[in-house]
Chain A
Amino acid sequence: MSKDRSSKNTMENSGLSADEQLLFCNARPEPYKPYSIKAVEDFANWARANSLWILAFGTGCCSIELRPLMTARFDISRFGIAGRPTPRQSSVFIIGGYVSVKTLKRIIRSYEQMQGPKFIIALGSCPANGGMYFDSYNTINQFDLYLPVDMYVTGCMPRPEALLAAIMELKEDIKAGNCDGANRYVENLDWYKANQKKVIKNWDMPDYNW
């Protein structure tokens, strides 16, 4: 606690009271730096692609598709992918459909708590362009204004096969080292935060939820 709490590299946490500010880390996240040897980074990417853990967090109707995916019919565990109950243990966040402002707040909180490497798959039309909730007072229309998306799956709702295809493609992308969503988020954090705070009007959590 003796550390200087305000410097260039800290977040303001102005949504918290002075007492609460002491309880939360206010450091800025830093982008991930790849290994300098390409072969090592490639190996790491191969390992990352084959160790995907999905966060059990369903936001909208599309997340119904995660159930057949997990169970015997489509059985995603044959690809070595499984669900995890907490953000700390997961690496893939599947945004299952429409996102209300209230849910967005929880999504941001969960996403920031996930440890890298982490990837976002946006499922369905709703996160992409509002879908059939495009005129709702309560659901966002473009999810990538608030968090970086690595893979979109279109459909309303997409079949589990589509989601499987997306995960296969995500794996290829990770192996090729193209999935830099988490880095984009950290590098453009101020832009993302401004967008988030524009819609989440009762921001009463730390600016970055470590």
Chain B
Amino acid sequence: MNTLLDRLATDFGIYDISDRKPAITTLKVEKQQAERLIRELRDREGYTHLNFITCIDYIEQGIFTLVYMLHNYGDKSTLGVEVDIDRENAEMTSIHTLWAQAWTYQRELREMFGINFPGSPRQEEDFCLEGWDDIPPMRREFNTKTYSTETFGHREGRVSEDPREHMKAQLYPTRGGDN
């Protein structure tokens, strides 16, 4: 693993390498290098399986971090390739040519975060949300509670209880104290 990472550092300029768990390593790479790196990992290094693609919204830094989780069945190791992209006009190279299933993830990312993957099949179609006309709901500036109350209303009489206190009162009224 270490020789591989050293080589990738020279060839692709990966940085921020960290061992999150015994068999999971994450690394960062520049956006321009990402597709080339992932292709290399798939074709030469045995990372033939795409676990998933996901996105983390770092609104404070103004970036999205895309995570490509790749798995190697040979040595059972997992590699997370992280790519920072700009939050405004978010756009990323599509990797549906590497794994056909990637376009489903990319469609979802477009719908939930508003990230564009030019050339990815069926990008414009609705995925989970049908007829959505607000900002993409997984972006952190989207206030889901406000949206929910405005769109779906609030049932009068709905109250929230502290579960611990409520169960104490309901189930063990005689015990009191803190058991």
A200 touches B152 (CB 8 A): no
Distance A91 CA – B157 CA, assembled complex (angstroms): 31
> Given A102-B128, A140-B152, A202-B130, A135–B144 Cβ distance below 8 Å?
yes
Contacts of B158 in A (CB 8 A): 129-130, 134
Total CB contacts across the A-B interface at under 8 A:
59
> Given A130-B155, A141-B153, A136–B148 Cβ distance below 8 Å?
yes
B130 touches A142 (CB 8 A): no
B interface list, Cβ under 8 A from A: 126, 128-134, 137, 142, 144-145, 147-149, 151-155, 157-158
Contacts of B155 in A (CB 8 A): 128-130, 141-142
Question: Would you mind naming 18 contact pairs between A and B with Cβ atoms under 8 Å apart?
Answer: A101-B129, A102-B129, A102-B130, A128-B155, A129-B155, A129-B158, A136-B144, A136-B148, A137-B144, A137-B151, A140-B152, A141-B149, A142-B153, A142-B155, A198-B151, A200-B130, A200-B131, A202-B130
B136 to chain A: closest residue by CB: A137
B146 to chain A: closest residue by CB: A135
The number of chain A residues touching the other chain, given as a range, is 20 to 34
Give chain A interface residues in 129-148, CB to chain B under 8 Å: 129-130, 134-142, 145
Contacts of A199 in B (CB 8 A): 151-152
Distance A202 CA – B153 CA, assembled complex (angstroms): 20
A138 to chain B: closest residue by CB: B129
Distance A199 CA – B142 CA, assembled complex (angstroms): 18
Question: Nearest chain A CB to B170's CB is how many angstroms away?
Answer: 14
A141 touches B126 (CB 8 A): no
A105 within 8 A of B: yes
B126 touches A202 (CB 8 A): yes
Distance A140 CA – B137 CA, assembled complex (angstroms): 15
Contacts of A137 in B (CB 8 A): 134, 137, 142, 144, 147-148, 151
A78 within 8 A of B: no
B144 to chain A: closest residue by CB: A137
7 A-B pairs besides A141-B153, A142-B152 with CB distance below 8 A are: A137-B137, A138-B128, A141-B149, A199-B151, A199-B152, A200-B130, A201-B133
